[in-house]
Amino acid sequence: MPDSKYYIDLDNEYCAHNYHPIPVVISKAEGVWVYDPEGNKYIDCLSAYSSQNTGHCHPEIIKALKEQADKVTLTSRAFYNDMMGPFLKKLCEVVGPHINDPNNSGIMALPMNTGTEAVSSGLKVARAWGYIKKKIPKNEAKIIVCRDNFHGRSITIAGFSTDIEAVRYYGNFGPYTPGFIIIPYGDAEELENIILEIGPEKVAAFLFEPIQGEAGVKIPPEGYIKKVREICTKYNVLMIADEIQTGFGRTGAFFGCDHENVKPDAMLLGKALGGGVYPVSAIVTTKDIIGPDVIKPGTHGSTFGGNPLASAVAMKSLEIHIDDHLAQRAKEFGGYFLEGLRNIAKKKTIVPIKEVRGKGLLLAIEFESDARHIVEMFKDKGVLAKHTHSTIIRFAPPLIITKDQIDWALKIIENVLVA
């Protein structure tokens, strides 16, 4: 079998350099463990950016994938298939109780593939709802977003990012889509101010993350989500929660908004929905917002969205998240992991630590200076994690992780950091 260097060289030669990976090649994986071609074993503390909640190659998800692969995989939405309906029924039943539906209009979903597509769909739905239902004058709809957001990398989404270097790429992807207004994250007062400044009658939606994952696990102040709910209701502005990274138990509650018992008007879901094997995403909202008077045939679509293979996998992923109480596990073991990291931070570390924070199994250490060399040192000792914004290392292992496995990871993290 060729060695790791062979595969890294191939990537460098043939793949556009849109990532700068940690130099490890993963050729096998099971649960929380991944292996390189040389047979070295690592604990995965990134989980494909929170997509591997159920652990790598979960046997039941792989079984569902294989069984469906033998029947029918892709039909396109030109025809019906016998898997999408059952999947979306289950998704709406599971997510519905977390969605604000004041008129009891019912819950509906729109299936897509990647998180970015779920966000794009949410933006289109918000604008269409704004014009059709809220009667915003044509081309005047505004959507408010947050500083340091990460919602994906399409050209529109890149345009309302504040990551000048990476996502906006210094204007090299411009001109950007108009109609988005950026406000500070975690500041509900600012949300109300900007709605009043724009004119509430022109604001279609507020899009936010319950915890900003890519920004470095930024947790908003207590009560923020509740205040956002009140403001959005007051001004008839759609509250759209991007739960693509925080959803399905990652933060120790089924959804990030649950921490404040808040129901957004629409939820954007992805990552872990696909069970770590297949891209599956969706917007889940009410019939009032996405019903046939707003989204009509031909107005939005995706060749792969809602395909039978994705539906089979996602249905099984949902089932495992619920049956195995993964949110509860994340709460319990996340607290344990966080405490372990905080104990390490009390010691003298090779790079000074500014803060340790997190909720559930979405954790981070923020360093005073660059941390890339630290993730490489972790890798050399058997822990895979990734830095974000150069000084922050996120720890987001599969939610099936055990206490012993956390101890295993903590020991290595301490050995590296406390010289």
Ligand X SMILES: Cc1ncc(COP(=O)(O)O)c(C=O)c1O
Residue whose CB is less far from ligand X, 56 or 151:
151
Residues 103-162 that bind ligand X (CB under 6 A): 114-116, 119, 150-152
Residue whose CB is less far from ligand X, 246 or 349:
246
Using CB under 6 A as the binding rule, whether residue 244 contacts ligand X is answered as yes
> Min. distance of Cβ 18 from ligand X in angstroms?
12
Is 135 catalytic? The answer is no
Residue whose CB is less far from ligand X, 167 or 295:
167
Residue whose CB is less far from ligand X, 150 or 337:
150
Active-site position among 36, 148, 242, 258: 242
Residue whose CB is less far from ligand X, 214 or 366:
214
Active-site position among 150, 248, 337, 378: 150
Using CB under 6 A as the binding rule, whether residue 386 contacts ligand X is answered as no
- The phi, psi pair for 215, rounded to 5°, reads -70, -10
> Min. distance of Cβ 107 from ligand X in angstroms?
21
Name the nearest CA neighbour of 359 among 272, 253, 268: 253
Is 160 catalytic? The answer is no
Q: What is the 3-state secondary structure (H, E, C) of the chain?
A: CCCHHHHHHHHHHHCCCCCCCCCCCCCEEEECEEECCCCCEEEECCHHHHCCCCCECCHHHHHHHHHHHCCCCCCCCCCCCCCHHHHHHHHHHHHHHHCCCCCCCCEEEEEECCHHHHHHHHHHHHHHHHHHCCCCCCCCCEEEEECCCCCCCCHHHHHCCCCCCCCCHHHCCCCCCCCEEEECCCCHHHHHHHHHHHCHHHEEEEEECCCECCCCCECCCCCHHHHHHHHHHHCCCEEEEECCCCCCCCCCCCCHHHHHCCCCCEEEECHHHHCCCCCCEEEEEEHHHHCCCCCCCCCCCCCCCCCHHHHHHHHHHHHHHHHCCHHHHHHHHHHHHHHHHHHHHCCCCCCCEEEEEEECCEEEEEECCCCHHHHHHHHHHCEECEEECCCEEEECCCCCCCHHHHHHHHHHHHHHHCC
> Min. distance of Cβ 94 from ligand X in angstroms?
19
Among the listed residues 68, 121, 245, 388, the single contact to ligand X using CB under 6 A: 245
Among the listed residues 44, 214, 258, 288, the single contact to ligand X using CB under 6 A: 214
Helix axes 326-345, 308-323, angle to 10 degrees: 70
Question: Which residue stretch of 198-206, 208-216, 293-301, 302-310 sits at the interface with ligand X (rule: CB under 6 A)?
Answer: 208-216
**Rounded-to-integer distance, Cα 299 and Cα 267, Å:** 20
Is 242 catalytic? The answer is yes
Among the listed residues 148, 242, 258, 265, the single contact to ligand X using CB under 6 A: 242
Active-site position among 271, 316, 331, 386: 271
b/e for 145-158, b at 16 or more Cβ within 10 A?
bbbbbbbbbbebbb
Residue whose CB is less far from ligand X, 152 or 360:
152
> Min. distance of Cβ 7 from ligand X in angstroms?
22
Using CB under 6 A as the binding rule, whether residue 405 contacts ligand X is answered as no
Using CB under 6 A as the binding rule, whether residue 283 contacts ligand X is answered as no
Among the listed residues 55, 122, 159, 270, the single contact to ligand X using CB under 6 A: 270
> Min. distance of Cβ 245 from ligand X in angstroms?
4
> Min. distance of Cβ 404 from ligand X in angstroms?
29
Alpha-carbon torsion, ordered 59, 65, 69, 75, to 10 deg: 180
Residues 36-95 that bind ligand X (CB under 6 A): 49
Task: Please name the amino acid found at residue 97.
Answer: P
Using CB under 6 A as the binding rule, whether residue 264 contacts ligand X is answered as no
> Min. distance of Cβ 91 from ligand X in angstroms?
17
Among the listed residues 111, 130, 186, 213, the single contact to ligand X using CB under 6 A: 213
Query: How many chain residues are in contact with ligand X, going by CB under 6 A?
Result: 15
Residue number with the smallest Cβ distance to ligand X:
115
Using CB under 6 A as the binding rule, whether residue 378 contacts ligand X is answered as no
Question: Which residue stretch of 84-92, 129-137, 209-217, 369-377 sits at the interface with ligand X (rule: CB under 6 A)?
Answer: 209-217
List residues binding ligand X (CB under 6 A). 49, 114-116, 119, 150-152, 209, 213-214, 242, 244-245, 270
**Which sequence positions are flagged as catalytic?**
150, 242, 271
